[in-house]
């Protein structure tokens, strides 16, 4: 695995977290317990900070980045991902906040200033445009994303199941 310091900021990765040998994690990044970072994922905390909670999986070819503090982005945009989150293959997360127990479908793009509330499913290939607030408990999809329908109790349970299943899978890889 490639874990790199950037300007004296070294990633803080919990001992139980799995980071694939082909992934890159650099700069001001914190990753919680039992999370997993899969092949060819880039997590680049060079111009702002990235925080990933526990039991969260970031799947293959995903890109996680942030926006710097500047005249056009006062304060910039950091990136926060909660606990029990599944981020599908080839997802781009940029300067957004994803709360606990969410599933971000394959190929989705989530942009600066977006807040995704807990127990939410973002459909594959969706585009969530800047500064959008995504209401909890719904399936959102499209480009740009729109609210489609309320999630069933079973679907909400399956989001947590997905996250915990990835904890089991990362244990097999370790």
Q: What is the CATH number of the domain that holds 59?
A: 2.160.10.10
**CA 68 to chain centroid:** 18
Q: Tell me the pLDDT tens digit for each residue of 66-92.
A: 999 999 999 999 999 999 999 999 999
Closest CA to 113 of 148, 66, 72: 66
Query: What is the DSSP pairing of strand 138-142 with strand 145-150?
Result: antiparallel
Q: What are phi and psi of 121, to 5 degrees?
A: -120, 120
**Confidence bin at 93 (pLDDT 50/70/90):** very high
- Mean pLDDT over 115-131 rounds to 98
Total of domains in the chain: 1
Give percent of the chain above pLDDT 90. Answer: 99
Indicate if the pLDDT at residue 54 is higher than 90: yes
Indicate if the pLDDT at residue 1 is higher than 80: no
HSE toward the beta carbon, residue 18, CA cutoff 13 A: 20
- Domain range for 66 is 2-173
The whole-number pLDDT of residue 97 equals 98
């Amino acid at each position: 695995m490639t874990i790199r310091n950037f300007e004296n900021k070294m990633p803080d990765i919990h001992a139980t977290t799995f980071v694939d040998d082909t992934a890159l994690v650099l700069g001001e990044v914190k990753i919680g317990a039992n999370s997993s970072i899969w092949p060819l994922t880039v997590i680049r905390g060079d111009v702002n900070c990235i925080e990933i909670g526990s039991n969260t999986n970031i799947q293959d070819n995903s890109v996680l980045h942030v926006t710097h503090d500047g005249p056009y982005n006062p304060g910039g945009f950091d990136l926060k991902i909660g606990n029990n989150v599944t981020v599908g293959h080839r997802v781009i997360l940029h300067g957004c906040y994803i709360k606990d127990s969410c599933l971000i479908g394959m190929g989705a793009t989530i942009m600066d200033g977006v807040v995704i509330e807990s127990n939410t499913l973002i459909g594959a290939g969706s585009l969530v445009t800047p500064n959008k607030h995504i209401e909890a408990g719904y399936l959102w999809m499209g480009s740009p994303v729109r609210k489609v329908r309320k999630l069933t109790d079973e679907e909400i349970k399956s989001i947590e199941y997905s996250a915990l299943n990835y904890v089991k899978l990362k244990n097999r890889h370790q």
